[in-house]
Every structure is written in C-alpha cells, then in structure tokens.
C-alpha cells in the first residue's frame, strides 16, 4: 500500500495498523514496526484497527491493541479508521480517548443510538454499499449530519468503488437532497478527514 501511495501520491493515501481479525499472530515488535512505518509515511492514516465481537480473538487482546492505536493516533496526529462490529459496549471504555483524535466508524453497522453516541465524541460515520441492506438504513442516513458523512466501498469485502454512486444516490434520497450536493459534501469531508495536520 505504501508503494502504491508513493507511485500515485495524489490518488492513494495509505492506512497502517493492525486489524482486529489478525491480532493473534502479530509480531511482538508490532508497535515499533508501526511507528517506523508511520514515520516513513507522514501522510499515512492509522487503521483499520478496532473491536470485533464476531471474531474469535480474545477481547482483552483486542482492547489492548486498539488502545495502543488510539495512543499512536494522538502521538502522531493521524486520523484513524475504526472497525467496530457488535462492539457498542466495548466502545464505552474508549470514547473519551477517541474524542482526542479524528476518527471514523467505518462501514457503520450499528444502531441509531450508537451513531448518536459516536457523533457526540466527534466521530465521522462512513457507510458502505452493504449499509443499504440494513433495516435501519433510512434512519441512519437521516441521523448523520452532512458534515460528518463519508462513503466507502469497503472493497473487496462489501462492495467495489463502482457501487458508491448508487449508495450516494440512496443516501441523498433518504436525506431528501440533491445527489450533486451530497456528493460535493462527502468529497469535501473526505479531503478534510485524510488531511494530516
């Protein structure tokens, strides 16, 4: 990913971190390695990192490594991509430290209640093509303030870049606004989000 970013600096921004699905075999030097990579890639974001209760990865290990990522995001002043699945209760222990970094709950898959809680700590909220299949999609789309909304493919897991235009169209419809206006706002938010301070 860093190679691609070096080759296409205006199109690719890398994100570096340990995904909660793959923690058990991580090197014991992971923190030092990640710090080195962050130093070599001053525009890189941190992530995906986070919490996933559907995966058989020890909760304490997930929480410990997530906390380290938040710490690094603070230290290096990098935005953070957070993966959170069925983790509403676990997140409770992290909101106050998350509040100090710029973060997004990516491929949001929770309740409106979680969405509002996350927003109150400054979260950006990102929808992916699969979000449209959720029962509460319309409520979620209406509950996100325009200036906190991001859209993603989450490819190759949950869609591909070509699906984003249909997603944007549906979100615009739920919000009762013009697609063009929504697209411009999401683009602006995306630029702001990845802009390393």
CB of 29 to Zn ion, least distance (A): 24
Q: In whole angstroms, give the CA distance from residue 21 to residue 17.
A: 12
Scanning 45-53, 94-102, 124-132, 164-172 for contacts with Zn ion by CB under 5 A, the matching segment is: 45-53
Residue 69 is a binding residue for Zn ion (CB under 5 A): no
Scanning 27-35, 78-86, 93-101, 174-182 for contacts with Zn ion by CB under 5 A, the matching segment is: 78-86
CB of 152 to Zn ion, least distance (A): 10
8, 99, 100, 136 from 140: Cα distances, Å:
34, 21, 24, 6
Question: Per-residue string for binding with Zn ion, 137-166, x by CB under 5 A?
Answer: ------------------------------
**Three-state secondary structure along 121-143?**
CCCEEEECHHHHHCCCHHHHHHH
What is the sign of the dihedral through the CA atoms of 56, 57, 60 and 62?
Answer: negative
Is residue 103 within 8 A of residue 123, CB to CB? The reply is yes
Q: Which of 69, 78, 83, 132 touches Zn ion (CB under 5 A)?
A: 83
The DSSP bridge partners found for residue 49 are 82
Q: Which is nearer to Zn ion, 87 or 182 (CB)?
A: 87
Residue with nearest beta carbon to Zn ion: 83
Q: Which is nearer to Zn ion, 130 or 179 (CB)?
A: 130
Scanning 65-73, 80-88, 124-132, 135-143 for contacts with Zn ion by CB under 5 A, the matching segment is: 80-88
Phi first, then psi, for residue 94 (nearest 5°) are -120, -10
Contacts of 182 (CB under 8 A, 6+ apart): 146, 149, 168, 171, 172, 175
Q: Please measure the distance between the N-terminal and C-terminal CA atoms of the chain and give it in whole angstroms.
A: 21
CB of 87 to Zn ion, least distance (A): 11
CB of 73 to Zn ion, least distance (A): 16
Number of residues that bind Zn ion (CB under 5 A): 2
Is residue 175 within 8 A of residue 145, CB to CB? The reply is no
Scanning 8-16, 77-85, 138-146, 163-171 for contacts with Zn ion by CB under 5 A, the matching segment is: 77-85
Binding residues for Zn ion (CB under 5 A): 48, 83
């Amino acid at each position: 990913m860093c190679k691609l970013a070096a080759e296409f600096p205006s199109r690719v921004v890398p994100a570096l971190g340990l995904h909660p699905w793959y923690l058990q075999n991580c090197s014991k030097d992971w923190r030092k390695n990640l710090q080195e990579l962050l130093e070599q890639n001053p525009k890189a974001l941190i992530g995906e990192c986070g919490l996933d209760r559907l995966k058989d990865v020890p909760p304490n290990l997930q929480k410990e490594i997530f906390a380290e990522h938040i710490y690094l995001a603070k230290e290096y002043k990098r935005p953070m991509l957070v993966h959170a699945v069925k983790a509403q209760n676990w997140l409770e222990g992290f909101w106050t430290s998350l509040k100090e970094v710029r973060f997004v709950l990516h491929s949001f898959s929770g309740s409106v209640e979680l969405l509002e809680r996350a927003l109150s700590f400054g979260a950006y909220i990102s929808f992916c093509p699969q979000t449209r299949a959720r029962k509460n999609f319309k409520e979620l789309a209406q509950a996100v303030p325009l200036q906190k909304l991001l859209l993603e493919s989450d490819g190759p897991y949950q869609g591909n870049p070509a699906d984003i235009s249909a997603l944007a169209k549906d979100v615009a419809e739920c919000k009762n606004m013009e697609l063009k206006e929504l697209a411009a706002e999401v683009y602006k938010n995306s630029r702001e989000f990845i802009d390393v301070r």
